[in-house]
Structure 1
Amino acid sequence: MRKWIAIGAALVLLLGGVYLGSPYYAIHSLRAAARDADTDKLEASVDFPAVRESLKSQMSAAMMTKMQNDPEIRDNPFAGLGAMMIPAIIDRMIDSFVTPDGIAAMMRGQKPTDTVKADENPDVESSSAYVGLDRFRVRLHNKASDEEGPSFLLERRGFATWKLIRVEMPADLFEDKN
């Protein structure tokens, strides 16, 4: 009887370890795919439509806020025309950047426009934590320039499978640094 209790307890611990440790393995696999520019693995690990939509909404909101807070733009008679064109411009820009290569560059700590395959930036460090039982966030921080980088939100899809569903850009992305 004790043997079965010990086997059951070991099985529960093993399954719990796999369940709770699976996002760390998913991030490791995503980084390896980014480093190796393995587009097949990236496509399997990223929900591209969800990532695109999240970035489009973030960028549109940030641009509209910037337009409303900038007195030069706010008082410009053509600002309304510009505001109508922003969503179309952002949609095209995001669609061109949110690709396996663009995600790989961001995971390496590079800009999505950097097309040269390179190793991860040694100045970029990451921290990770559960947001909920089925959500996990990884934040990037450039310790050399002391700037926050993007954060990546993963969602559980099944018992131990995770997909990248959102890339959150830093809040100060559109602030003037003058």
Structure 2
Amino acid sequence: MAVLKRTKGGATRPLIVTLLVIVVIAALGFAYATPYIALNNLKRAADARDAQTVNQYVDFPALRESLKQQVAGLLTRRLDAHSNGNPLAAIGAMIGVALIGPLVDAYATPDGVAALLNGMPPRGDPGERPPVPAATNTPSDAAATSPAPAAPATGTAANGNGNAAPPQPPQTTAGYRGINEFVVTYQHGAGDARYSAIFQREGVFTWKLAAVNLNE
């Protein structure tokens, strides 16, 4: 009987070890994927203007402070590039500083987060507000709203004013820059400036948008 018990125990032990290894691997895989999941959930919520869900994935005090620093740096670089000893540069600097607060207030919102995650960062222009991302219809939505297929357009894109088609979505790359930092970088073209949205880890599995870098 004692031999039988030892045999059963010896057969059970490898099964327990295997299950523990599987659980550990699954937990590590989920932990690695959590910032990608947070990014996807935040973008969907921001595009839908779901403020309650956006609040779960954004550290607004930290984002607001980061926006202040980044917009101030953006305006400073612009003034340095155009001043060339011009005494009016000081006036421009004061005006620029006055613009920072309203611009930050506009971008530290679900609308602003949606703009940031759709390749539309602040430019530091007077009275600037986050642009509204273009609505995208799913195939089912298109079928419901378009009873008959439209005739093919000729020449320039038919958008009502003869202009070219809207710009394509930005090129996006995402990845870790440390165990507690996850960065999403946006660029519209090879020669265009890049900027990034920075997520910070909170706890083990939680990530929040906490900063931007407008001079990536």
Moved over 6 A (4+): none
Q: Which runs of 5+ in 1 are unaligned?
A: 172-178
Q: Aligned to 2:89, which of 72, 79, 86?
A: 79
Q: Report Cα offsets for 1:2-60 as digits up to 9, x if no partner.
A: 01111111111111111111111111111211232222111221111211211211221
Q: Aligned to 1:102, which of 112, 119, 131?
A: 112
* 1:116 to partner: Cα distance: 5.7
Q: 1:153: which partner in 2? A: 198
Q: Aligned to 1:114, which of 123, 127, 131?
A: 131
Higher gyration radius (CA): 2
3-state DSSP class of the match of 1:123?
A: coil
3-state DSSP class of the match of 1:156?
A: strand
Structure 2 distance, partners of 1:46, 1:148, is 24
**C-alpha contact 2:201 2:207 (8 A) present in aligned 1:** yes
Give the counterpart letter for 2:202 in structure 1.
R
In the alignment, structure 1 residue 93 sits paired with structure 2 residue 103:
yes
Q: 1:33: which partner in 2? A: 45
Structure 2 distance, partners of 1:19, 1:83, is 45
Question: How many residue pairs end up in the alignment?
Answer: 168
* 1:155 to partner: Cα distance: 0.6
| Alignment CA distance shift 1:103-1:57 (3 Å) | same
* 1:137 to partner: Cα distance: 0.5
Structure 1 distance, partners of 2:211, 2:34, is 18
Q: 1:142: which partner in 2? A: 188
Q: 1:8: which partner in 2? A: 20
In the alignment, structure 1 residue 125 sits paired with structure 2 residue 171:
yes
TM-score by length of 1: 0.80
Give the counterpart letter for 1:119 in structure 2.
T
What do you get for the CA RMSD once the two structures are aligned? Answer: 2.5
Give the counterpart letter for 1:159 in structure 2.
V
Q: Percent identity?
A: 29
More displaced 10-residue stretch of structure 1: 44-53 or 80-89: 80-89
* 1:149 to partner: Cα distance: 4.4
* 1:146 to partner: Cα distance: 5.2
Q: Report Cα offsets for 1:109-140 as digits up to 9, x if no partner.
A: 34653236523975323111100001100112
Q: 2:143: which partner in 1? A: none
TM-score by length of 2: 0.67
Higher strand proportion: 1
Higher helix proportion: 1
Structure 1 distance, partners of 2:27, 2:133, is 40
